[in-house]
Amino acid sequence: MTDSAFAFGLGVGTHNSKGEWLEVFFPRPILAPGAALVDAVNACDSATALDESVLRKLKTALAAAGETAQAELAGRLMDSGRPVVAVLLREDAPPANVPEGYLKLHLLSHRLVKPHGTNLQGLFGVLPNVAWTNEGAVDIDELAEHQLAARLRGELLEVSCVDKFPKMTNYVVPSGVRIAHTARVRLGAYLGEGTTIMHEGFVNFNAGTEGPGMIEGRISAGVFVGAGSDLGGGCSTIGTLSGGGNIVISVGRECLIGANGGTGIPLGDRCTVEAGLFITAGTKVTMLDAQGMPVETARARDLAGKSDLLFRRNSTTGAVECLTNRSAVELNEELHAHN
């Protein structure tokens, strides 16, 4: 028997006129498939579309391996007449082609891995820029011809967006979530049970929420928001794609980022950022004691990951201040002990 692999998926997708993949839909991806499944698909693992004879053999092999659901899916895909692919990721390596990239995005949106739980290095270079239309994915270079053909039929080809990433809900709708504006959640987002994304909320790929939570702001690529946290209207989080920073931004549990506020540092649990205040790593923060008196000034990066903090701006001086349910002196001593 062969050792187990990282992930597997049977998918159906779209080619351009050159036979190149534009996108792939994986309805039943598997994380850590067993050895029996790996042995069943070894003969046809490829980014090349599978023909009917190979799919028939795959269906038989999957059934013999006890993979009933995957065998049934292979049968349905065999009858579709659409390009079909079987992707077996033997290890969690960077995606090498479009089907591999789409399988990894599906793993995230199916909640099989959390953000940063799979290697997405080089994904942007792998995925093509696509026109997403009411007739599906269209190659940018072929869009004008599709538009003309639609007009000649007396129809209109609606182009909803031009992007490397489609909206998540055309591929995956996780259980127990509300999404007011589906175009604002990309495939590859992870939405935990109980998450609500309001109309102005946005969730990028490789980012998301543990759930439950109310999201009215922007969750940038790489950012994960803990359970019970709320992001107010218009607020932002600095993602791992912004400015080339290496610090992974996260928001802990039961946090609140006020409307039009934001954070460029990881927040611990039960932290609050006042509405309209954006904290960056270099922000000078005045630490206050239990009586509200200044104790010391620190950089916000020194407070990264600390819990029970309230960040606010002094309306008189304009200084950014930090209060905590512990004394500021105690917190400062802890910070200096780790310098």
User: Which residue in the list 23, 100, 210, 216 is annotated as catalytic?
Assistant: 216
CATH number at 7-126: 3.30.70.2010
Class of domain 132-163: alpha beta
Nearest to 108 by CA among 39, 24, 171, 35: 171
Each residue's pLDDT expressed in tens, for the chain with a length of 339 residues:
456 799 999 999 999 999 999 999 999 999 999 888 998 888 665 677 888 888 999 999 999 989 999 999 999 998 888 999 999 999 999 999 999 999 999 999 999 999 999 999 999 999 999 999 999 999 999 999 999 999 999 999 999 999 999 999 999 999 999 999 999 999 999 999 999 999 999 999 999 999 999 999 999 999 999 999 999 999 999 987 644 456 789 999 999 999 999 999 999 999 999 999 999 999 999 999 877 888 889 999 999 999 999 999 999 999 999 998 654 445 555 554 544
Burial class (CB in 10 A: 0-12, 13-18, 19+), 216: buried
The reported pLDDT for the residue numbered 48 is 79
**What count of residues does the chain have?**
339
CA pair distance 9, 29, nearest whole angstrom: 5
216 classed as catalytic = yes
| Residue 221 pLDDT | 93
Residue intervals in the chain for CATH 2.160.10.10: 168-337
Assigned fold of 168-337: UDP N-Acetylglucosamine Acyltransferase; domain 1 (2.160.10)
pLDDT, residue 80, reads 87
Q: pTM for the full model?
A: 0.91
Residue span(s) of the chain under CATH 3.30.70.2010 come to 7-126
Domain with CATH 3.30.60.70 in the chain: 132-163
